[in-house]
Amino acid sequence: MRYLVYLEDEPTLDSYRLSHAPRDGLAPVFICPFVVVTGESGAMYNAMRGMQGVSKGTIMNYGIYRLDDTLDAQCPMLFSYRDHPVVEPYVTSETADAITFSSPSFRFEWGTDRYRWTDAGGRAEFEAERLGQVCTFWVPEQEGFEHPQMLRSHLGFVRGVIDGDPVEGLFMLDYIYSRPDLMWHEMGMLTKLHNLWMNWLVEYEDGELEGGYAWRGRPGNGFAAAHHFAGGSSSARSDAEIVTHMTERGAVETVSLALGDDLRIELAQRGSTDWPLHTCGTVSAISSGRPIKRSWNYTEYFPTNWPQVADYQFAHAALFGKFPSFQRLMQGAAVRDDVLVWPDGPPTPA
């Protein structure tokens, strides 16, 4: 496959609007902020949202979790979906220095280099500062990819409070683009491009920050985009090599990343937020050899048969008017040789 990965100039407010078209014929189809943070209490947390996850004009609440060092089951949610809905509409507004998306449960204010996020009715609050440049990959239409795909990724350092616990750590904001008429699940990123994606951030003892992201494409497509922020500057890469080791059930337990001869890091996971898709944890080793004060990682893994799982989810929604419970759907499942399997075969929406 053909793709391009590159750094952008300084963003403007226009690049955060829903009307933004970085290339002809493109529009935002999914906007995803997330954090992995450590509290003064010693607890580690993850929070994530997804705009336009199931329909235009709505946002998904993926939940706020406290990691519990369990990888083969979902870690505890802090706030119930009964109080803060899984899916809700949002409204947009604009000031001189931010584009704002909001509902009764949340508020996002995206500025050119600073980001504010309030969630769970005010029980979680974050403010982040961008590190380095926005890093973008672009997959044009080609054989096997009937829809264009673009992702613009913002790396940041975040401070905030979750339920009274002061927190700091990794912030990411991803703007994903394709044809304006498509939804996130229709553009092919999960079904044709993506197998594993990881984000990481290290704070050294002297206070310097290093981090980035890297991708491993689906088998055979050669996709290996990466962003590396070090020494105060960014580089765009296309040479990521990622190796994973899994638990007995099939959750990601460790990740090894190499960027050419420049970087080797090892990630250790501390919890699963929606088994087997997302794990969070720390950086256990880095080739710089410098003492690490704190670190964070967020890893997303999609087994190769995930398109069939997604088909089931949307068939269930079409039949019953709502998506199936993800935890119930995954009960009894395991990952074997990169394939999600169930003892009695995959579920059907009958």
Q: What is the pLDDT of residue 314?
A: 82
Q: What is the pLDDT of residue 313?
A: 84
Question: Which of 182, 179, 216 lies closest to 196 in space, CA to CA?
Answer: 216
In sequence order, the 6+-apart residues with CB closer than 8 A to the CB of 77 are 63, 64, 65
> Could you read off the pLDDT tens digit of each residue along the chain, which spans 350 residues?
999 999 999 999 999 999 999 999 999 999 999 999 999 999 999 999 999 888 899 999 999 999 999 999 989 999 988 888 889 999 999 999 999 999 999 999 999 999 999 999 999 999 999 999 999 999 999 999 999 999 999 999 999 999 999 999 999 999 999 999 998 888 999 889 999 999 999 999 999 999 999 999 999 999 999 999 999 999 999 999 999 999 999 999 999 999 999 999 999 999 999 899 999 999 999 999 999 999 999 999 999 998 888 888 888 888 888 888 888 889 899 999 999 999 988 777 65
Question: Which of 337, 350, 349 lies closest to 305 in space, CA to CA?
Answer: 337
The 3-state secondary structure of the chain, one letter per residue:
CCCEEEECCCCCHHHHCCCCCCCCCCEEEEEEEEEEEEECCCCEEEEEEEECCCCCCEEEEEEEEECCCCCCCECCECCCCCCCCCEEECEEEECCCCEEEECCCCEEEECCCEEEEEEHHHCEEEEEEECCCCEEEEECCECCECCCEEEEEEEEEEEEEECCEEEEEEEEEEEEEECCCCCHHHCCHHHHHEEEEEEEEEEECCCCEEEEEEEEECCCCCCCCEEEEECCEEEEECCEEEEEEECCCCCEEEEEEEECCCEEEEEEEEEECCCCCEEEEEEEEECCCCCEEEEEEEEEECCCCHHHHHHHHHHHHHHHCCCCCHHHHHCCCEEECCEEECCCCCCCCC
Q: What is the pLDDT of residue 349?
A: 64
Residue-range domain boundaries for the chain: 4-301, 306-341
pLDDT tens per residue across span 6-29: 999 999 999 999 999 999 999 999
Q: What is the pLDDT of residue 350?
A: 56
Tokens, residue 236 = 């765009």
Q: What's this model's pTM, rounded to 2 decimal places?
A: 0.95
- Per DSSP, the three-state class of 191 is helix
Q: How many Å separate Cα 266 from the centre of its chain?
A: 19
Q: What is the pLDDT of residue 204?
A: 98
Judging by beta carbons within 10 Å of its beta carbon (0-12, 13-18, 19+), is residue 282 exposed, middle or buried?
buried
